[in-house]
Amino acid sequence: MDEAIVRERASEISRTLANCRKFLVQGNVYSCLLGFKDVLERMVVTRMLPADEKELREAINDFQQQLMTNSAFKNTFGPVTFQDDNNETTLAFVRQLVNVSEEDIARNLAGGAETQENRALMIMRFIDKGEHEKARALIGTNEDLLSFILQTYNSLGIQARREGNFEKAVTELKKALSIAPDDEGILYNLARAYAAKKERKPAVESIQKALKINPAFAEARTLLNHLQQSAG
């Protein structure tokens, strides 16, 4: 578990869950599940105040009920039952659902099907190859498409950092910044990845950029203070 209680982390989990609801309403099941997986992964490792944990647990239970009754979700996976108040079991199950979704997307791509998820994955191929201008042009003003791609890279970066693969974490988060350089949340996660790599200078630079964009970003300020104090 994370060693300290930082209330902003509970707020971040709540915001991610809100995005999951948005994707579910849009029928974007894969993005919804990817975000929900991130929510559950953070719930498992994050220490928080009992009141915050209770509120989030109830919100997750409520979201699971929405999933079970959502037509797009049922059309994809059939009738599914989630267990309330059991994040680890639900996480293992949601990971399986994400894997199934990714296999379906791969098959659809092979067959030339055009959905938003498929379009996002094709754009991500350009990003992976360093063709950032082309990727930005394909995204255009489609905020949902941008959100899908950012969430994917952000989740990959966070997961890699938690697994100790700090180089991959930096790589994935930089991909996100290549199309959204002013996203303070991704800059914060990049700073954490650099800090985990013991690379203080780029960590400080990333967190300073995040604070320039959002001076009220309390957790970023805390991280910057920690980095500056550790330098002494």
pLDDT along the chain (232 residues), means of 10: 64 88 85 88 89 94 94 88 89 88 63 68 84 84 88 90 90 95 94 94 94 92 88 60
**pLDDT of the residue at 5:** 65
Q: What count of other Cβ atoms lies within 10 Å of the Cβ of residue 73?
A: 20
Which residue is it, tokens 């599914």?
80
- Rounding to the nearest 10 degrees, give the CA dihedral for residues 178, 184, 190, 196: 180
**pLDDT of the residue at 2:** 45
Query: How far is the C-alpha of 56 from the C-alpha of 58, rounded, in Å?
Result: 5
What is the pTM for the complete model shown? 0.56
Dig out the tokens for 108 from the structure: 């659809």
Give the 3-state secondary structure of residue 153: helix
CB contact at 8 A, 44 and 88: yes
**pLDDT of the residue at 1:** 42
Q: How far apart are the first and last CA of the chain?
A: 27
CB contact at 8 A, 138 and 123: yes
Q: 69 exposed, middle or buried (CB, 10 Å; 0-12, 13-18, 19+)?
A: exposed
Which residue is it, tokens 């199950």?
93
Which residue is it, tokens 């693969």?
165
Q: Which residue from 185, 207, 129 is spatially nearest to 8, judged by alpha carbons?
A: 185
Residue 74 falls in which region: left (phi positive, over 0), alpha (psi -120 to 50) or beta: alpha
Dig out the tokens for 209 from the structure: 């950029």
**pLDDT of the residue at 90:** 92
What number of CA atoms fall less than 13 Å from residue 15's CA on the CB side? 8
